[in-house]
């Protein structure tokens, strides 16, 4: 990406914000929106710095929820801004590094992909969306938002008894926690692949609101969940480490993903690719999968197109969604190749998100569209993760040796042998 000319608009007295202020970064095209929200309530807002693409503002924390709604209404961005824990972190948003560049985007695991993909189950995705959207809301500060984290951790835990596969809750200092499932790499464990979606939902009213978020983003979490299920059911043993992440608090400034990405950057964890699944089950356009070309990796996007054409069997197109439109932006800002495949053209998006009407009915009570994204994400995990299939059985979430395929074969052979012996004795 072009290195923009910095226009410093440093204002006096903004080196540390007032108690209720936080530093946010937001698309420069949305400065007017931020001003509009603040002035509506007489709240303070200060421009710290902008480079014409991104702006850093000191902003009243109490106005963030209203800003989320305005960003959604006026710019169709889910999130739409980043909340930073320091001025330095906010200003780092203006230093956008080129992404990590070409990884080995080879397609050489066709047999593995073609074994795993047919077992992706639309009914399972539908079931997960239905359970998540039945919660009153998954707001980051609500009790049900917190319960959603525990629910998801337990669901993911039920998929395997493999001791090397871990599922953790990440505490960010508010009720809802991010959930991370890790399948450790065998030979290149220090290279990490992230596939994510956001667990929280939002509607006007925050904690008290009815926010089913069936599409935004129970669909992405359900897609991710099905990817976890099939990878583990097939006992996938990737060369690289695969991490599936359900982020907390995306709707209020990408907070969960930002804090995880910041931590990985600090610890120098090498993330070779990040894929975001935010809204996968509302087919609003004539083509299936829309790749966002802004604030994403061109090289990884081209890799996704090869996966779609080669394995997914779906149509695709290009679109753009603006600064910080979802959690991939948290990875993009630290130089990780990131992509955001979306369910429709932004201009034909699901207009019911962030309301009580974001329900499964809008998707015809089926998960046919989300299945395409699950196929893409599973193919991405396998072809970027490399590695092989392990020896455990397919079809059950927790392997049980008595019913595994080799045992069934042995049982059949022994039964035939017994019949043959019995007949011989009779002769």
Task: Note the residues at the interface with Zn ion (CB under 5 A).
Answer: 78, 216-217, 278
Residue tagged active-site, from 198, 234, 328, 369: 198
> CB 215 → Zn ion: shortest distance, Å?
8
Least Cβ distance, residue 377 to Zn ion (angstroms): 16
Kindly name the residue from 60, 215, 226, 251 that is annotated as catalytic.
Answer: 251
Buried b (16+ CB within 10 A) or exposed e, 151-184: bbbebbeebbebeebebebbebebbbbbbbbbbb
CB of 15 to Zn ion, least distance (A): 33
How far is it, in rounded angstroms, from Cα 200 to Cα 211? 9
Q: Where are the alpha helices (DSSP H) in 267-396?
A: 298-307, 328-332, 368-385
Given 65, 250, 319, 358, the catalytic residue:
250
Residue closer to Zn ion, measured from CB, 78 or 384: 78
Closest CA to 181 of 149, 219, 211: 149
Active site residue 250: yes
Q: Which residue number, 376 or 392, has a Cβ lying nearer to Zn ion?
A: 376
Q: Which of 280, 116, 309 is nearest to 213 (CA)?
A: 280
| CA–CA separation, 221 and 278 (whole Å) | 8
Beta strand 270-276 pairing with 338-339: parallel
List 49, 191, 216, 327, catalytic entry: 216
For CA atoms 105, 109, 112, 113, the dihedral sign is positive
Query: Nearest distance from residue 77's CB to Zn ion, in Å?
Result: 9
Q: Which of 99, 354, 358, 383 is catalytic?
A: 354
- Residue 198 annotated as catalytic: yes
Phi/psi at 67 (5° precision): -65, -40
The CA-to-CA distance between both ends of the chain, in Å, stands at 84
Nearer to Zn ion, 21 or 278 (CB): 278
Give the strand pairing for 166-170 and 45-50: unpaired
- Residue number closest to Zn ion, CB atom: 78
CB of 86 to Zn ion, least distance (A): 26
Q: Specify the residue, 226 or 278, whose C-beta has the smaller distance to Zn ion.
A: 278
Q: Is 216 a catalytic residue?
A: yes
Q: Which is nearer to Zn ion, 241 or 257 (CB)?
A: 257
- Can 251 be counted among the known catalytic residues? yes
Would you please indicate which residues are annotated as catalytic (active-site) residues? 198, 216, 250-251, 278, 354
């Amino acid at each position: 990406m072009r290195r923009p000319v910095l226009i410093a608009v440093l204002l006096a007295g903004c080196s540390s914000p007032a108690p209720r202020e936080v530093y946010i970064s937001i698309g420069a095209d949305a400065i007017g929106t931020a001003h509009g929200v603040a002035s509506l309530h007489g709240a303070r807002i200060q421009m710290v710095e902008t480079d014409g693409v991104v702006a850093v503002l000191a902003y009243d924390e109490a106005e963030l929820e209203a800003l989320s709604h305005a960003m959604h209404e006026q710019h169709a961005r889910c999130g739409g801004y980043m909340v930073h824990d320091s001025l330095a972190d906010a200003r780092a948003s203006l230093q956008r590094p080129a992404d990590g560049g070409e990884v080995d985007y080879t397609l050489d695991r066709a047999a593995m992909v073609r074994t795993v993909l047919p077992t992706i189950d639309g009914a399972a995705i539908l079931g997960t969306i239905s359970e998540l959207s039945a919660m009153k809301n998954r707001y980051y500060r609500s009790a049900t938002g917190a319960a959603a984290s525990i629910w998801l951790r337990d669901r993911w835990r039920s998929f395997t008894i493999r001791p090397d596969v871990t599922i953790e809750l990440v505490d960010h200092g508010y009720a809802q926690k991010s959930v991370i499932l890790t399948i450790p790499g065998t030979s290149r464990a220090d290279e990490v692949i992230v596939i994510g979606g956001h667990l929280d939902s939002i509607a006007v009213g925050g904690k008290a609101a009815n926010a089913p978020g069936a599409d935004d983003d129970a669909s992405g979490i359900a897609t991710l969940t099905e990817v976890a299920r099939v990878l583990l059911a097939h006992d996938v043993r990737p060369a690289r480490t695969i991490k599936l992440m359900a982020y907390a608090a995306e709707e209020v400034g990408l907070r969960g993903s930002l804090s995880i990405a910041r931590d990985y950057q600090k610890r120098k964890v090498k993330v070779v690719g990040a894929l975001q699944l935010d809204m996968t089950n509302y087919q609003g356009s004539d083509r299936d999968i829309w790749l966002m070309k802004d604030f994403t990796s061109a090289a990884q996007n081209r890799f996704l197109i090869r996966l779609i054409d080669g394995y997914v069997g779906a149509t695709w197109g290009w679109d753009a969604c603006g600064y910080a439109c979802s959690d991939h932006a948290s990875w993009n800002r630290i130089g990780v190749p990131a992509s955001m495949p979306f369910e429709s053209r932004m201009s034909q998006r699901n207009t019911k998100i962030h309301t009580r009407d974001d329900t499964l009915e809008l998707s015809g009570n089926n998960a046919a569209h989300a299945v395409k994204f699950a196929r893409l994400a599973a193919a991405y995990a396998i072809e970027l993760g490399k590695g092989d299939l392990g020896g455990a059985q397919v079809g059950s979430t927790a392997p049980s040796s008595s019913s595994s395929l080799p045992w069934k074969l042995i049982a059949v052979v022994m039964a035939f042998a017994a019949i043959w012996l019995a007949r011989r004795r009779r002769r």
